[in-house]
Amino acid sequence: MYRLIKPIFFKFDPEKVHYFVVKRLKWFHEHFPLGSTILRGSFDVNIKGLEREVFGIKFKNPVGLAAGFDKNGEYIEALSDLGFGFIEVGTVTPLPQPGNDKPRMFRLEADSALINRMGFNNKGVDTLAERLRLLRSKNTDIVIGGNIGKNKSTPNEEATSDYVKCFDRLFDVVDYFVVNVSSPNTPGLRALQEKVPLMELLNTLQQRNNINGVSRPILLKIAPDLTNEQLDDIVEIVMGTKIAGVIATNTTVDRNGLYTPEKLKNEAGGLSGKPLTLRSTEVIRYLSVKSNKAFPIIGVGGIHSPQDAKDKLDAGASLVQLYTGFIYEGPGLIKAICKELVK
């Protein structure tokens, strides 16, 4: 069915279509319980052998939804009907912010890719925390990750305070945290990937994480554009700060090898989708080998088929996440990956 409706969706602005679809999916979930049950019956993955425990959390299957799709945690229950093993919300910032000017998302259909320069548009951490608190009151077993960032107006030398505010506010309502210092769409943010500021940031969060004997896994989301020397630093930083692991990778600023016309492919922003498939897998493999599998890795970037997911798991990932592949291939991709993994 998705193959029939996808050409219609792709005739419209991608950001507008995104909200059109998820809002109706949520409405369907809330107003038609039987329909929601049918959705779960069609897409949910109840296959033995897929469960796994990673950084102390039990996942019903290893296929998650990457951050950015549901920034404000508004559609978690509806999206979980589609079979995701976990859902990552955000990136969230302390204060609400509108993000960059529209249009800010572009389809590169010739490359099965997207370019986005959303700019951490979100309603702020207080709104997200209250929404997740309400969701948790329903005793749901959905595994939720909180992807945290800094406001655009916050200078880098004060960035740690923004991450701490988000961390403290979400601590009781998420299962794990992701520190996002790798988006190309907030000016200067990627400078926080440098060794000294990153060590300071992660050590500060770890100090907050050990208060009162309760902790949450903290992961670092990195860019695919890092050199091997920078990846060596990442391994050292992860092991030195004793955070739980890494998400590899975010979007890329590289535009080499694209089939898309020049004007469109040179839109500012981060590129995701099939052009990222090989590079993200290379980064996963490098980190896994260099660290001797010392920490878990969540693989994301260019997963458009079960084989793409398998390649990332074979390279050293413990879990995978979808975003652009989910948009291009449809919700059936989740179940297709899980079926392939149990063969």
The structure tokens listed for 235 are 């391994």
Map 183-249 to HEC letters: CCCCCCHHHHHCHHHHHHHHHHHHHHHCHHHCCCCEEEEECCCCCHHHHHHHHHHHHHHCCCEEEEC
DSSP conformation letters of 33-56: HHHHHHHHHHH----TT--EEETT
Q: Report the C-alpha gap between 254 and 257 in whole angstroms.
A: 9
DSSP class of residue 170 equals H
Q: Report the C-alpha gap between 313 and 78 in whole angstroms.
A: 27
Helix/strand/coil for 58? strand
Out of 182, 183, 272, 288, the active site residue is: 183
Look up tokens 């912010």; give the residue: 97
Q: Report the C-alpha gap between 95 and 126 in whole angstroms.
A: 8
Closest CA relative to residue 290, chosen from 257, 323, 316: 316
For residue 318, indicate whether it is catalytic.
Answer: no
Torsion 297-298-303-307 (CA) sign: positive
Q: Nearest 5 degrees, angle CA 318-CA 324-CA 326?
A: 75
Peptide bond preceding 33 in cis form (omega within 30 of 0): no
What is the biggest distance separating any 2 CA atoms in the chain, rounded to whole angstroms? 55
Residue type at position 88: E
Look up tokens 């409706």; give the residue: 5
Helix/strand/coil for 81? coil
Catalogue the active-site residues: 183
